[in-house]
């Protein structure tokens, strides 16, 4: 039982390049989330998927797209990376949304955009 896994752990991109961050969970959770963490700003929600087949915007969705590939996997795509997207990205999952279910976090992906 690995919990929430993310790949890659580190990535450096040039401005304008694209990439997809992968996330998978093996806890049979229905809801999955993508956050970004920036110094002094805590975690901010980018997108979430309340259940398989649905996705919704969070607080900071601009410049990102997501795909809920199946119940286990939720990917985050940067179509044209910008330096402002340099951040640490965390994926999380919970049994359901609504906050009463604990969110479990992956180890994070550190992305640098030059």
**Applying CB under 8 A, which part among 13-21, 67-75, 77-85, 105-113 lies near other proteins?**
105-113
Which of 43, 51, 65, 86 binds other proteins (CB under 8 A)? It is 43
Which of 34, 48, 64, 74 binds other proteins (CB under 8 A)? It is 48
**Applying CB under 8 A, which part among 18-26, 36-44, 60-68, 70-78 lies near other proteins?**
36-44
For position 105 contacting other proteins by CB under 8 A, the verdict is yes
Query: What is the pairing mode between strands 74-78 and 19-25?
Result: antiparallel
């Amino acid at each position: 039982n690995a919990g929430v896994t993310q790949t890659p752990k580190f990535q450096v991109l040039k401005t304008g390049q694209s990439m997809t961050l992968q996330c998978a969970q093996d806890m049979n959770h229905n809801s999955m989330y993508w956050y970004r963490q920036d110094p002094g700003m805590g975690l901010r929600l980018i997108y979430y998927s309340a259940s398989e087949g649905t996705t919704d915007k969070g607080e900071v969705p601009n410049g990102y797209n997501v795909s809920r590939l199946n119940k286990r996997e939720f990917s985050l795509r940067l179509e044209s990376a910008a330096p402002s997207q340099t951040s640490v990205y965390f994926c999380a999952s919970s049994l359901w949304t609504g906050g009463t279910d604990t969110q479990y976090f992956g180890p994070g992906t550190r992305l640098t955009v030059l």
